[in-house]
Copies of this chain bind each other. A is one copy, B any other.
Amino acid sequence: MEKPRILEVRQGILKKNDQLAGDLRGRFHNANICVIDLVSSPGAGKTAFLEETLRRLNEQGFKVAALVGDLATENDAKRLERSGVPVRQIETHGICHLEAEMIERNLEGWDLEELDFLFIENVGNLVCPSSYDLGEDARAVLHAVTEGEDKPLKYPTIFNSSDIAIITKIDLAEVCEFDREACYENIHAVRPGIPILETSGKKGIGFDEWFAYLKDLKKGVGSRAKAV
């Protein structure tokens, strides 16, 4: 008896999340802000990558902000604040993913129309965040060379629900005997045609390509906002 009941409750929650995410997406479009959700396993380097992203975009004159999800601690927000942009920590208190409601609640007091980009750093988890739309324009899945090339095949949903795959810690490729060809093949097997970038937050590699992607995405958001 329990299985159909949990499925029903779960579907109810996902439906409610989707509705709220739809509302958020409308609000983001009206404000002409481009929103990116970063997902990955724990320790794939999301925070280092985001720190470098925020710092450089800020230097280039873009208005950026970030929401950072974690089960516990405010360490990431503290780290990211060094980039000089507004950052808020979302402590999920044991919940394994971010939900649209948490995003909405934590936007309070921010003037979205003044921002160009909002980055959301999801909880480190290659499974559960894939089911929760946050109203983002793009989901970026980060995949460290240290994790092994088989992860896209083992966690297909998070890869095939993403819009761009970002290989991180590329500076460790050689020492990890990273098999580039196998990695690309596996990513494209679960999500054909997805763009793939190779980056290192620590060594500052791959950010020009990342910013080209973001600026294209922003243009799309802009033209969509005009069309509304």
Question: A23 near B: Cβ within 8 Å?
Answer: no
Question: A58 near B: Cβ within 8 Å?
Answer: no
Q: A154-B70, A154-B72 in contact; A16/B2 too (CB < 8 A)?
A: yes
Copies per complex of this chain: 2
In angstroms, Cα B94 to Cα A144, docked, is: 22
Query: Which of B5, B75, B125, B156 is close to A126, meaning CB atoms less than 8 Å apart?
Result: B125
Counting chain B CB atoms within 10 Å of each CB, the highest count among A13, A94, A169 belongs to A94
In angstroms, Cα B149 to Cα A73, docked, is: 13
Contacts of A157 in B (CB 8 A): 71, 94
In angstroms, Cα B76 to Cα A75, docked, is: 34
Contacts of A16 in B (CB 8 A): 2
Question: A150 near B: Cβ within 8 Å?
Answer: yes
Contacts of A107 in B (CB 8 A): none
Contacts of A70 in B (CB 8 A): 154
